[in-house]
Structure 1
């Protein structure tokens, strides 16, 4: 029997750096078909020491009221994440990092983390922690992502969509 598509969501987060750790800067959740359920920038909870613009495309102006998209407080982002993932299977890459930055836990049997899938781990060894998803998609799906700034929504949906 095939799984119910409504029981799956994909989660991606983007982070920036503070003095001591990564902090949430954007959260995106899409459904099985790639429909955006939630996508927002998140107001940093600490002073940002590196916006990581080469990976995120962010600069401080994005997180003002005049920025390109809405900015919400961390607690609202966390509540939205809980609302969308509660009772569902979460699919993503390095989910433990996304859940950690959101300060959430989720049942292990309801996670599908591509970074920990044994067949992918044994098929190749990544040169760094940062290139695993790119290499995975290049090797197995013949698609290239994340050259410079990459929209989180596109990163979630791209591997599944024939139109990109």
Structure 2
């Protein structure tokens, strides 16, 4: 009996010693082929949020917050990192643990109140600064129960947080709920006048700002003069305006993988602004200018992330599919690689905004 127990213990220790550990998320596998399959599915890369204490890669910033015990959640296996993060005064906004860093440098002030409409209209001819523009829309209700969203106000902000276009929009169908408590819009605000545009005219103006003189067909095939479009829930806003825009030029804080929930659902702009910028938005009457500024600031914070370079000349270019990074015909060669070599070979499955710099 004692001999069998010794043999069983020896086998367990032997198997434990041969377990293969992922260099990114630290998961362990008995067989190297299982680790290769994990890397093929996980798509780990240097662009993922990473713990400054243990170096673990996390899929989203929300999972990193759980790992570091920020926001009241602490995973059982991450108590060491949570304690180290707290003792070293880690920044709860950028989740970094660096010497002489203070959260006050990451905490931003709330955007100034939207300017008066005459002043905003006077700035509609301002030349946008930077390569990106932020779009924000406010909706009123239509339909029998007022649940159908129709655009009533449009705002476009450049990278310097200057208003380059702002207007009220007259909906194409009757409005049944103006949602005054949040929009601040009354029926008399949407009557015909010089300050109110049609949906088609507003969409044309937004498109002209985004294309910057480039032909629409060219913006969909090349990286020319067309500007990046920043926002939260861009597809919803573009649908309301009856517009389309190339996916590779969109920077949507609602669908950017590191900013999403661990369940792959979108976080609200209000939550993202408080969590990563440190101030409240969308209180009282809401103007799209505030949403534009918040989305642009989130974009700038994500764009300035410092990520280590990968292992090749094209290591920072996302692969179109996992088979490009880990082709099946190289299975035996992949199984002979170390976990660190597999990680250097891996590619993200999304475009990291740090590549826009």
Q: How high is the TM-score relative to the length of structure 2?
A: 0.39
Provide the residue aligned with 2:195 in structure 1: 70
- In structure 2, the residue matched to 1:10 is 134
3-state SS, counterpart of residue 230 of structure 2: strand
* Length, aligned pairs only: 151
Greater fraction of residues in strand = 1
What are the Cα deviations for residues 108-131 of structure 1, in whole angstroms up to 9, with x where unaligned? 1100000011111136988xx8x7
Aligned-residue Cα RMSD (Å) equals 2.3
Alignment counterpart, residue 58 of structure 1, candidates 162, 185, 208: 185
User: 1:39 aligns to what?
Assistant: 166
- Is 1:139 aligned with 2:266? no
Distance 1:122 1:22 in 2: 25
The superposition leaves residues 53-101 of structure 1 with CA deviations (integer Å, 9 ceiling, x where unpaired) of: 12211111211357xx811111110110111112211000000111111
Structure 1 position 6, deviation (Å): 2.5
How many angstroms does 1:155 deviate by? 2.7
Partner of 2:290: 154
Match of 1:48 among 142, 166, 175: 175
Counterpart of 1:89 in structure 2 is 228
Out of 98, 122, 136, the position equivalent to 2:237 is: 98
CA distance in 2 between counterparts of 1:139 and 1:158 reads 12
For structure 2, which runs of at least 5 residues remain unmatched after alignment?
Answer: 1-128, 212-225, 298-357
What CA distance in whole angstroms lies between the structure 1 residues aligned with 2:260 and 2:293? 22
For residues 65 and 135 of structure 1, what CA distance do their matches in structure 2 show?
A: 36
Runs of 4+ in structure 1 displaced over 4 angstroms? Answer: 123-126
* Structure 2 residue 156 is the aligned partner of structure 1 residue 29: yes
2:252 pairs with 1:113: yes
What's the CA shift for 1:52? 1.3
Distance across 2 between alignment mates of 1:104 and 1:44: 15
Give TM-score scaled by structure 1 length.
0.82
Compute the displacement of 1:157 (Å). Answer: 2.1
